[in-house]
Copies of this chain bind each other. A is one copy, B any other.
Amino acid sequence: MLISLRDALSRIMPIAQCAAEYETVAFDEALGRVIAEDVRSPHDVPPFDRAAMDGYAVRGEDTFGASPENPIKLRRASGLVREREYMPVQTGMKMPDGANAVVMLEHAKEHKGILDVFMPTPPGRNVSLKGEDVKKGEIIIKSGKILNAYDIGLLASICKTEVKVRKMPEVGILATGDEIFDPRERRERSGGERSGGMIPDSNSYVLSALLSSIARPELLGIVSDEIERLKVAISDALRSCDVLLMTGGSSVGERDLVEDALENMGGNIIFHGVAIRPGEPVGFAVVRDKPVFMLPGYPVAAISAFELIVKPFLMCGVDTCMKIPAIAARNIPSSAGRTDFVRVRLYESDDMIYASPVRLSGSGILSSMTKSDGYILIEDEKEGVEKGEKVIVHLLSYQPRSDPFIQP
């Protein structure tokens, strides 16, 4: 009944690609967006040969044979630099016509329009050639990149004021379960009285925060475990959202009302149960042409399913995660036939980075996420990782940390 992570992704990715939409936005509103066009440089950078050092623009040939004992004397040019002439230049300035090298300040001495050069400076030395950094027409931002602050600056610098980007989907988050309540309700009610369950809903808030950089999340509240109420809530959600995430209700227990409700509405259950751990009860359905994810109720299981399945779907496969290699600090057991999502903490020793699994007892333990630097995946064909083995650590969601794991 369980399918592999690979199978799950191969079933949902075509749906993700079909659903991708695009829009054009102002460049200064494109931070963090996935660009959907190649951007080419409209000109050479530098646009002309320019001085790469403060000093004196010369014809390099004129300086051959120069030495502190036998300095070569050059005259100050007026305009064009001719044979045995020089012109003072600052870093970044256009090279004067005729000059092809820059003698560094410390290799010459200027006095009353005469320059003593102490060091041979061959043609090309200390000059940035036209187009050296970026050639006209060269791609400077590739389609599919997530635009960062420097990209925004690069767009400004070429006056590209609009860019085509992938639309951010509206993602509804609907929590289910009689046992949970919205922690915000506490604020509004007096005396701590509350309707509903005993466990605060944290999943909705974690998912909303994780989504905030890649989609437009919308919290849709909590529905109780009654099939008719579920159907009404799902119907409402599908009217306003492009994608729906449901948490809870998809646990290992016998009844699964969420799946029943989705089927009842004519939905097509693409899969329900993936060999990942935690996160096994994750499911995916298409209902009224909209993608619906069923996520487990246990917080870390929901996060694992989100990172491994929902995020690749929403990003259409664009990888948002930085990865670094590390050494397993301990044996990490795992069973063949499933993919393990193992939270790790990183530390440094003897110039190597070690990844140590964050061992906490259940997939309900959110604090295991806040204590982690990232996660490793143990693929389904592998039976665990041995101490000393190399692993690839996925740094978690680029959340900045105030306690960097390595202090210089």
Chain A residues packing against B (C-beta within 8 Å): 26-28, 31-32, 34, 45-46, 50, 52, 54, 90-92, 128, 132-134, 140-142, 144-146, 148-159, 161-162, 183-184, 186-187, 200-206, 208-210, 212-213, 252, 298-299, 303, 318-325, 348, 351, 353, 360-370, 377, 390, 392, 395-408
Contacts and interface: CB of A to CB of B under 8 A. Distances in A.
Nearest to A392: B408
Contacts of A156: 183, 200-202, 204-206
Nearest to A390: B351
A91 B396 CA distance: 26
B408 A154 contact: no
Task: Name the residue among A161, A325, A367, A403 with the largest chain B CB count within 10 angstroms.
Answer: A367
Contact of A406 (B201, B324, B403, B407): B324
A37 to B, nearest CB: 14
Contacts of A200: 156-159
21 contacts: A27-B183, A31-B212, A32-B400, A92-B298, A128-B361, A132-B360, A140-B370, A141-B370, A146-B399, A149-B397, A153-B202, A153-B366, A154-B202, A156-B205, A320-B400, A322-B395, A322-B400, A322-B404, A323-B404, A324-B324, A392-B408
Given A202-B157, A360-B133, A150 B92 contact: no
A362 B94 CA distance: 12
B31 A403 contact: no
A52 B362 contact: yes
A299 B186 CA distance: 49
A140 B369 CA distance: 12
A353 B324 contact: yes
B206 A153 contact: yes
B154 A362 contact: no
A202 B161 CA distance: 11
Nearest to A360: B133
Contacts of A150: 206, 303, 366, 369-370, 399
A140 B140 CA distance: 44
A364 to B, nearest CB: 6
A105 to B, nearest CB: 12
A318 to B, nearest CB: 5
A327 to B, nearest CB: 8
Contacts of A323: 404-408
Contact of A31 (B52, B209, B351): B209
Nearest to A157: B202
Given A152-B209, A325-B351, 18 more contacts: A34-B402, A46-B362, A50-B362, A92-B298, A92-B362, A92-B364, A140-B367, A141-B370, A142-B402, A145-B403, A148-B400, A149-B210, A153-B299, A320-B402, A323-B406, A323-B407, A324-B324, A324-B406
A366 B157 contact: yes
A364 B128 CA distance: 12
Contacts of A50: 361-362
List 8 A-B pairs, minimum CB-CB distance, nearest first: A148-B399, A128-B361, A149-B209, A153-B206, A150-B369, A156-B202, A157-B202, A153-B202
A325 B159 contact: no
